[in-house]
Structure 1
Amino acid sequence: MEDNQNRARSGSGCAGPASPNRPDPPQRGPRPREVQVTGLAADWCRTDRVALGLRVGTSKDSVHDASSSVSRRLEYIQQTLRQHGVKDEEVCVRRSIHREDNVYHVEAEATVNFSDFEMMDRVCCVLLEKLDKSVSMGTPRFYHSPESLSKLRRRVCLAAVENAQQKASDLSRLLGQTLGPPLLVREEETQEWRSREEGDEEEEEEEDGVERHGAAATRYLSRHRVVARASSRVSVTFVFLDKARKKH
């Protein structure tokens, strides 16, 4: 009994020989030499769309006469827009009518979305020449289409990556190394904001929503624009190629 216990104790404290079938642990090679750099870029783009409200209205004792007068001018506006290539889906028309005492007030407003600002100017000149003060123009609302903002974001991100690559290339030459391919590209931060174009400050004193007629309206259309600005910061990890690999 005592011999068996001694053999058990002696066996429990010693590791047996390694199994001939157990694979050896994999040998790790040298860790590749890496360099991590950041790249910054910023850019901007002008508005590419504008919404403009064109309003006509009249007040008459007869509701029929008032409606007919507004309809004729509205039809001329729509015809002028079509002649200048504005599609019907870019125009939204709203009508309103109400009575005060025995006078009927009829109004119609066509909100037009332009992608060609020069075309907008031509349309406004034609309407003002034909309708004069019987048509009023609201404050143009310049804005960015989703497509233009998407292009701005991509352009800024790619520029930041290019700046990071140039920085890594300069660093590798300084250290006498050969720059390899990128291992990881990560966009760390993006920012977007809006600002007025230069020259718009004097227009800020005018109240938004003020209707303008004649030459005052056309002068105002070329102002009050906003630019979209975006910035991007990326982090890129590159590998330095081994000199032995370079020889092969």
Structure 2
Amino acid sequence: MASSPSRVFAALLPAAGDIYRDENEPGMGGHTVTVQRTQNSAREVQVTGSAEASCPADRATVSVSFRNSKESVNDVTNSISRRVEYILQTLRQHHVKGEELTVTRHIYRADDLYHMEALVMVVFSDFGQMERVCIVLLEKLDKSVCVSTPHFYHSEECLSLLRRSVCVAAVENARLKASEISSMLGQTLGHPLLVREEEAMERDGGREEGEGGEGVHRPSISATSRVFVTFNLRHKDRTRKKI
């Protein structure tokens, strides 16, 4: 996480019971203003805190496509079905779940032949698993199939976690700075009165190498957050009652 300097505003308003005298007010002969004692004296510190974090893509899709042509519908259907079943079996052996893949088929007739195309689309969250599956399919099926290059992306869960974590980090940075300021002013940092996220941005964070030396370079997203926080300030208790 990276943080930038905070904007700070501390307000130490008069404590309850403080008295202000203006002896030189013309025609008034002096007057006294007493601040009414209130239970919650308005003492607060206001800061802004920033943070930045990045996250690599956590998902990738790979498509396996192939086609065949036969003189009859049954022949081309059986041929494609055998190929699809082999691919699905390979995926199951590598622990790919059923909800992580889709199979589509398309058949048409041209030049007195029946042509069928099939596409198996697989979503991977384990990129080591993805690499192993692609190697097996290319070795066993060779040129009869076309295995696409991975398309990496961020899932909504990943982006949501990134946004929350960077905002929390910005608030924590603001709290740490406010704590140092309150200590310098001889106060104790109290509870937060207001927390407001003033800015949240996301941008392309470049490419990161996969974990475990997988050799897969994934795109990343960087998120920044800037928050405004108001904390209550309390007097330090300099005396402790002995029991």
TM bucket (normalised to shorter chain) is 0.7 to 0.9
Shift of 1:95: 0.3
Q: Name the residue aligned to 2:94.
A: 84
Farther off after superposition, 30-39 or 157-166: 30-39
Between the aligned residues of both structures, percent identity stands at 56
Q: Deviation at 1:246?
A: 4.7
- Match for 1:222 among 203, 216, 224? 216
TM-score normalised over the length of structure 2: 0.74
CA contact (8 A) 1:52 1:113 kept: yes
Distance 1:104 1:222 in 2: 39
CA contact (8 A) 2:50 2:226 kept: yes
Stretch deviating more after TM superposition (74-83 or 180-189):
180-189
* 2:202 counterpart of 1:192: yes
Alignment partners' CA distance in 1, 2:86 and 2:74: 18
Q: Which of the residues 225, 228, 236 maps onto 1:232?
A: 225
Instruction: Give the structure 2 partner of residue 99 of structure 1.
Output: 109
Q: Where do 4+ consecutive residues of structure 1 move more than 6 Å?
A: none
- Compute the displacement of 1:56 (Å): 1.5
Once the 2 structures are TM-superposed, how far is the Cα of residue 192 of structure 1 from its aligned partner?
2.2
Aligned residue identity for 1:32:
A
| Equivalent pair of 1:50/1:140 in contact (CA under 8 Å) | yes
Q: 2:126 aligns with which of 116, 120, 136?
A: 116
- Between stretches 165-174 and 84-93, larger displacement belongs to 165-174
What amino acid sits opposite 1:114 in the alignment? F
C-alpha distance 58-143 of structure 1, shift in aligned 2 (>3 A):
same
Q: Indicate which of 153, 158, 161 corresponds to 2:163.
A: 153
The match for 1:247 is 239
What is the letter of the counterpart of residue 63 of structure 2? G
Give the match for residue 165 of structure 1.
Answer: 175
Runs (5+) with no aligned partner, structure 1: 1-26, 200-220
CA RMSD of aligned residues (A): 2.3
2:201·2:224 contact (CA, 8 Å) conserved in 1?
A: yes
CA deviations 1:27-79 (Å, max 9, x no partner) are 44273321100110111111111111111112233433322222111110001
Specify which structure has the higher proportion of strand.
2
Alignment CA distance shift 1:198-1:145 (3 Å): closer
Whether the aligned pair in 2 keeps the contact of 1:56 and 1:74 (CA below 8 Å) is: no
- Shift of residue 170, structure 1, vs aligned partner: 2.0
Following superposition, the deviation at residue 195 of structure 1 comes to 4.1
Structure 2 gap ranges (5+): 1-35, 210-214
In structure 2, what is the equivalent of residue 8 of structure 1?
A: none
Which structure has more helix as a fraction of its residues? 1
Alignment length (residue pairs) = 200
Bigger Rg, which one: 1
Give SS of 1:50's match. Answer: strand
